[in-house]
Amino acid sequence: MIPTTLTAMAHVTAEPAGALSGSGGFGLVDMVLHAGPMVRTVMAGLLCLSLISWGIIMAKSSRLRKVNRESENFADLFMKIKSIDLLYEECERFKDGHLAHIFRVGCAELHRVSALLAGRGIEDPGKHADLLLENVDRAIQGGIISKRKRLQRLLPFLATTGSTAPFIGLFGTVWGIMTSFRDIGMKGSANLAVVAPGISEALVATAMGLAAAIPAVVAYNHFSNRIQVMEEDMLQFTSDFVNMLKTDLLFRPGRGEEASEPVEIAGERRGICGRMEVDPAQIR
């Protein structure tokens, strides 16, 4: 009985070895090339998802680094320059920074409301400081939302890839296993030579699904956290900017004994940025 069993095991072991050597072995490239049409289609789709995800990851990483760098430089400038007029002129150098964006949005709204009051014969907007500050704060909140949406652009693709890629790979695996069982039924044999190649090829689809999903999920969480921190920075900067604007309005000419002279810039006397020419179309 025992010699018969050993002979059978040796026969089963020798048969897959010959079959595998004839089919090219279990190399990853060989398994992909010898997979069925459906499994190869699934693998090609997963490869496309992975390449697109990595492209988004690299582009988004570079973009957020640039945004953070410019915002840090603008924050340092904001702490040094006390004049809103001078700060507005300097902030044009920071096109991508989220803090500079919020500042430009606030200045554009301040200019719009000041022009509206001047059109109604009110030359001193400081007398309506509450109205100005309320409108500026509301415009800035809208600017924060729009900036957050731009920063989050393409992130839903990473979330979609992270949640669907494993299931796409699992579909390819299930299909490959179905094909293997069909081959078993057609050949009437359940030895490793029949089962192993199809199953190994099918499992590659699951591996590729996980390889596409894991970086996408990690990157999505990382970028989401960084954007959340940026949003908190914008909210904090809004408070600082509104406080700075309130102080500037209190000490403008025409406020009685507390009035101070406007800032002199290159021989030209200016007040708050509401007197500057601010084009709202340039506010991104």
Q: What is the pLDDT along the chain (284 residues), one digit of tens a residue?
A: 334 333 433 343 333 433 333 344 456 666 666 667 788 888 899 999 999 999 999 999 999 999 999 999 998 888 887 777 788 888 888 888 899 899 999 888 888 887 887 777 766 666 667 778 888 889 999 999 999 999 999 999 999 999 999 999 999 888 888 877 777 777 666 666 666 667 777 788 889 999 999 999 999 999 999 999 999 999 999 988 888 888 777 666 544 444 444 433 333 334 455 444 445 444 44
Can you say how many angstroms the Cα of residue 97 is from the centroid of all Cα atoms in its chain?
15
> Alpha-carbon distance 44 to 86, whole Å?
55
Are the beta carbons of 102 and 237 closer than 8 angstroms? yes
Q: Residue ranges of the alpha helices (H) in the chain? A: 2-23, 28-33, 37-80, 84-91, 98-119, 129-151, 155-187, 192-250
Q: Tell how strand 263-265 and strand 268-270 pair up.
A: antiparallel
Residue 79: predicted pLDDT: 85
Residue 193: predicted pLDDT: 62
DSSP at 253: T
Are the beta carbons of 167 and 207 closer than 8 angstroms? no
> Alpha-carbon distance 19 to 33, whole Å?
16
Q: List beta partners, residue 238.
A: none
Residue 257: predicted pLDDT: 42
In the block, residue with structure tokens 């299931």: 167
Residue 269: predicted pLDDT: 36
Of the candidates 151, 157, 159, 158, which has an alpha carbon nearest to the alpha carbon of residue 231?
151
At 96, which amino acid appears? D
Q: Give the C-alpha distances (Å, rounded to integers) separating 222 from 65, 91, 120, 150, 216.
A: 13, 28, 50, 16, 10
Residue 18: predicted pLDDT: 39
Q: Which two tokens stand for residue 101?
A: 């964006």
Residue 162: predicted pLDDT: 95
pTM assigned to the model: 0.73
> Alpha-carbon distance 35 to 51, whole Å?
21
> Alpha-carbon distance 105 to 94, whole Å?
13
Domain edges within the chain: 37-274
Residue 199: predicted pLDDT: 77
User: In sequence order, which residues have a C-beta less than 8 Å from that of residue 269 and are 6 or more positions away?
Assistant: 261, 262, 263
Helix (H) or strand (E) holding 57: helix 37-80
Q: Which two tokens stand for residue 26?
A: 């279990």
Residue 129: predicted pLDDT: 73
